[in-house]
Amino acid sequence: MQAELIHLGFGNILPINRVVAIVSPHSSPTKRMVQEGKKSGLTIDMTNGRRTRAVLFMDSGHIVLAAIAPETIASRVTTSRGTPELRVD
């Protein structure tokens, strides 16, 4: 199986086929999971000091923080696959 990579900004690249979910960081359950991940060493910060706009949950249990919006990540995935762009209303 070949890894499909997606650029998350600032030179950070992630294998998108290992992502389970992409969520907004504003809900309380997401904030709790990020804090628990930081305590256990499973959080990977790819924001380069910027505000966290998306949280990606990986199949390995890692939690990735990104400085770009979930909609932007989804559109990059669909654009790279050559499928019609995802509309989020």
Three-state SS string over 51-83 comes to CCCEEEEECCCCEEEECCCHHHHHHHHHHHHCC
- pTM, two decimals, is 0.86
- Antiparallel, parallel or unpaired: β 43-46 and 63-66: parallel
**Domain span at 35:** 5-81
CA distance 22 to 56: 5
57 bridge partner residues: 21, 63
Residue 87: inside a domain, yes or no? Answer: no
Average pLDDT, the chain: 91
| 89 belongs to a structural domain | no
Is pLDDT of 86 > 90? Answer: no
pLDDT at 82 over 90: no
Residue 14 lies in a domain: yes
In this model, does residue 48 exceed pLDDT 80? yes
Percent of the chain at pLDDT exceeding 70: 89
Is 65 part of a structural domain of the chain?
A: yes
Give how many domains the chain has, as a whole number. Answer: 1
